Amino acid sequence: MVERITDISNDLCDFVDNRQNQIDRKTLIKVYEYHQGNFHIHPFTNWQAHRVRCMSSIASRLGDHVRVWECHFLILQYFHHLSKCECHCMESSPLGVNHDFFHRDSLSYLVYGSQALANACIYVFPTTKYKYYLELFQPILSYLDPYLKGKKKHLEYIRSDIVSDKTKPEYGKPWNPNYANTFLRLIERLKAMR
């Protein structure tokens, strides 16, 4: 079975984050450039969010301020949807409510991509000092708030464009707010960064 880019990115970021591992600088740069070279594949989906997370982890680990700032602008670009979506689904979407949410009709996908970007922001914040929480994540939290508090329910994947989503165990079931726990912890960490 071929692993998803998001799984590979998670494994790699966890590996890069482990400071006891001595990773060759050239290898890290190759991995960074690999992710950079694949932006055309599923742009502005969760795949892209995880690419940016991985690149941010590497840039931070290298202490490479040019790459850190590049990642900062990729984060902003993702949130502001500066790509052209062929289906134009994102023209009127709230800030940060991503392509996957509209096409997969899943709050889990929204949280999954947002979590990767929260990680990316944590990596680059020591250099950029940008107020990611207020500028980027507050709109997502506002959007999720009624679902997190149980005031609204979302049935997962009901209007998904992807046929295989109809076979997922979560299909048609209410989204579980506990799925957002890790994302919310990362947001609290980001909020506390000064």
pLDDT tens-digit profile, the chain (194 residues): 334 555 555 556 666 655 555 668 888 898 899 888 887 777 778 888 999 999 999 999 999 999 999 999 999 988 876 444 555 454 545 556 677 787 889 999 999 999 999 999 999 999 999 999 888 898 889 989 999 999 999 999 999 988 999 999 999 999 999 999 999 999 999 999 98
Q: What is the pTM of this model?
A: 0.84
Closest CA relative to residue 46, chosen from 94, 2, 122, 97: 97
- Whole-number Å distance between alpha carbons of 107 and 115: 12
Backbone φ and ψ for 155, nearest 5 degrees, come out as: -85, 120
**Count of domains for the chain:** 1
Bin 4: left if φ > 0, else alpha if -120 < ψ < 50, else beta.
beta
Range of the domain at 21: 5-192
- Whole-number Å distance between alpha carbons of 42 and 152: 30
- Whole-number Å distance between alpha carbons of 135 and 130: 9
